[in-house]
Amino acid sequence: MKQFVEGSHAIAEIVKRCRPGVVSAYPITPQTHIVEGLAQMVADKELNAQFVNVESEHSAASVVLGAQATGVRTYTATSSQGLLLMAEVVFNIAGLRLPVVMTTANRAVSAPINIWNDQQDVMTVRDSGWVLLFAETIQEAVDLHLQAYRIGEDPRVMLPVMVNMDGFILTHGMEVVDMPSQEEVDKFVTPYSTTYKLDVDNPLTMGYLADPDYYIEIRYMVQQTHQELLTIIPEVAAQFKRQFKRGEGNGLIEGYHLEDAEQVFVAMGSVCGTIRDSVDEFRSKGKKAGLLKIASYRPFPKNEIVKALSRAREVAVVDKSISLGGFGPLYTDLSAAVSSMGAKAPKVSGFVIGLGGRDITLQSIQEVYECLSGKQVDCEFIGLKKELLAEAK
Amino acid sequence: MIGHLTCKPGSSQANKTGSWRTETKPKFLQKNCIACRMCIYTCPEGIISGEGKNTFKCDYAYCKGCGNCAAICPKKDIEMISEMEEGDQK
Amino acid sequence: MTQTLFKPGHTACAGCGQAVGARLVIDTAGKNTMIANNTGCLEVFSTKYPESAWCVPWIHSLFENCSAVASGIEAGLKYLGKKDAINVIAQAGDGGTADIGLQAISGMFERGHDVLYVCYDNEAYMNTGIQRSGLTPTLTNTTTSPSGAGSLGNPRPKKPMPEIAAAHGIPYVATASVGYPQDVQKKVKKALSIKGPKYIQMHVPCPLGWRHESNMTFDVAKLAVETGLYPLFEYEYGKLIPRKIAKIKPVEEYLKVQGRFKHLLKNPDAVKQVQAIADYNIQKYGLNAEA
């Protein structure tokens, strides 16, 4: 059913329809509307779940960890400092192979404190073992939550999945969303069932100490599962497309005017919408621009990316994040991917944009585009205010 | 790829900690025992068993030789003896 | 071998008080129990992959979050309609409880989860090498509160963790000691018969960290109680129930058998200071059976 709805309310609604048994969260802007929505649904008996109001994000993640370990489907959501506070638990959930689903309403990190959107928060747990999916629109965020439960709970996977949606832009934006009915959701997301759980009739020890004789193999297995995810995510995306008759791309990447594109923007999340408009504008002026959207950041779909960029001459990686002292994280990953292309590799430039909610306009993307023809850059900040920098020593 | 997620219950028994003992081990004299069970309570390894008076013994495969059973015995019916005595039960 | 749910082969030090305490707790709780365990000695010595000493469902996540993990287990069991048949126990050492785990434990108490929390109190961070914790007693020599020309050891009093727990208005709080195993069993049994959050803090000597002979574990534990330095009491629905001491002993008897207090014995003022703590406990909790 189509409805005009706020992003957060759409997420609360779709999570409800996925029937989690335990929801736990700690409030942080801009995640609040999602969990407020779920709390109301529990209060109204629309959702049969235990809603656990915790005293911190560290405990929110720990509560869903414990609940998931009893074999129950769980959900949590957070943002920014909240994600950083739960980071220790985030790594632990993945290491324990518990398929928790979490929404991250992406937001800048402190200091200075800033509640607006960028993607620096998720990058702090990039290496945790979680599947990291990025939504461009509210509709896509809704659809990714359905797929997240399917992907994470797949017996071949058993890993947590994070759906990233840009704070405010998607969480507080309004959009017409085609909301899957309960029947449709039940058909796609079947009840969670596993023997890997705390069970008095089969008393297993979970979360043991692994010494140097065992640890590296256990980490290797997570890495291998991520390799397997490169075929499992497209399987789930294809099934989704078959049932719901929507969804672009293969679940890992999506192209826009890529077929003959010579200049390709690579980006994640809502900025892809702005870039699409820019690409249209460049195309109207006869320029062969295109967009490669990364939908799955972990696993990182290296081979798909290499294939998609086989005709590109110049690539602009647009990062809404920065590894301070290094480069934009997506730029680093992309550079590693194209290094296997040898002489055929395109010239890859890295741009940092929109940190702390700075508006990303068509003009910003134009600026990126203009840099492409010049000397290769690896960490070019776009839209800096010269007058503010002039005051600095 | 998923494996090695759990340990099986009680599998620590594969680890025979009796090899830790260096000097002494308990000898259950079974003479003046009143079956108070204090030795069972105090054993960190949980390896002392027995029901009635003068029936208590321990599993030397795991005994680390801490000596708490002997120390707690109100009847001095458990003695710490040299590792080498009693035909080396190690 | 006796039927125990905490099997041998674990790698606790010889004479470990915590190993005794953990067995008393789980064997009293029985097999229909799930345990969330913080990082610490107990976790390390009982679950070294691929071996586990545990015969009940057991999970370790992190150093400070067993209260929250146990809250999640309880919520999961409630959702499954299984909570009434299963005990949930969260357990940790003194650092994992009173220091790094305090926020999570407070959250668990405040939310009213039906969980028994057991703190095995060996009065320092033993797993990392005898560093001072919030539950280290006054004037204890630890590796991070060493005695020296300008120091008598830990300068601060032991954090009143049972009072902090009780202040949450939870139905049951108790202190216990492995020196009194039947008392431990009685308290665990009582705690598990009560719905809601429960807190038991059990004194568990650590031969390595306290520097006493490995066969002295129970004597040392008993001396702590008999001197008044480790008062045994319950707060049942807020009402204080002390375990009285038949014959109170001077604190020197407790101090002199442990290397961690050796530096105090030549210092009468320091011993007096420790005696004052015992005297305060005896008065506060009404421990003197003869009074």
For chain A, the structural domain boundaries read 2-244, 253-390
CA distance B59 to chain A (A): 25
Average confidence (pLDDT) over C138-165: 98
Q: Would you place residue B89 in the very low, low, confident or very high pLDDT band (cuts 50, 70, 90)?
A: very low
Average confidence (pLDDT) over C94-115: 98
**Maximum C-alpha span of chain A:** 69
Residue A365 pLDDT > 60: yes
The whole-number pLDDT of residue B90 equals 40
Q: Are strands A263-267 and A74-78 parallel, antiparallel or unpaired?
A: unpaired
Residue B88 pLDDT > 90: no
Tokens of residue A315, six digits: 């690539």
The whole-number pLDDT of residue C209 equals 98
The CATH architecture of the domain made up of B33-84 is: 2-Layer Sandwich (3.30)
* Cα separation, C173 vs C163, whole angstroms: 8
Domains and CATH numbers, chain C: 17-285 (3.40.50.970)
Residues of chain C neighbouring B4 (CB-CB closer than 8 A): 49-50
Tell me the ipTM for this assembly: 0.97
CATH class of A253-390: alpha beta
Q: Which residues contact A16 (CB under 8 A, 6 or more apart)?
A: A38, A41, A46, A47
Residues of chain C neighbouring B13 (CB-CB closer than 8 A): 7-9
Matching CATH topology for A2-244 and A253-390? yes
Residue A186 pLDDT > 50: yes
Q: Does A22 touch chain C (CB under 8 A)?
A: yes
Average confidence (pLDDT) over A98-108: 98
Which among A158, A214, A228 has the least Cβ separation from residue B4?
Answer: A214
Average confidence (pLDDT) over C101-127: 98
The whole-number pLDDT of residue C105 equals 98
CATH homologous superfamily for the domain A2-244: Thiamin diphosphate (ThDP)-binding fold, Pyr/PP domains (3.40.50.970)
Q: Would you place residue B86 in the very low, low, confident or very high pLDDT band (cuts 50, 70, 90)?
A: low
Instruction: Please answer whether residues C71 and A52 qualify as being in contact, where contact means their C-beta atoms are separated by less than 8 angstroms.
Output: yes
Q: Would you place residue B44 in the very low, low, confident or very high pLDDT band (cuts 50, 70, 90)?
A: very high
Q: Would you place residue C1 in the very low, low, confident or very high pLDDT band (cuts 50, 70, 90)?
A: very low
* Cα separation, A164 vs A170, whole angstroms: 10
The whole-number pLDDT of residue A120 equals 98
Residues of chain A neighbouring B3 (CB-CB closer than 8 A): 221
Which among C57, C65, C107 has the least Cβ separation from residue A204?
Answer: C57
Helix-helix angle A57-69:C66-80, to 10 degrees: 50
Inter-chain Cβ pairs, chain A and chain B, closer than 8 A: 34
Closest chain B residue to A198, measured at CA: B6
Which among B1, B3, B9 has the least Cβ separation from residue A203?
Answer: B9
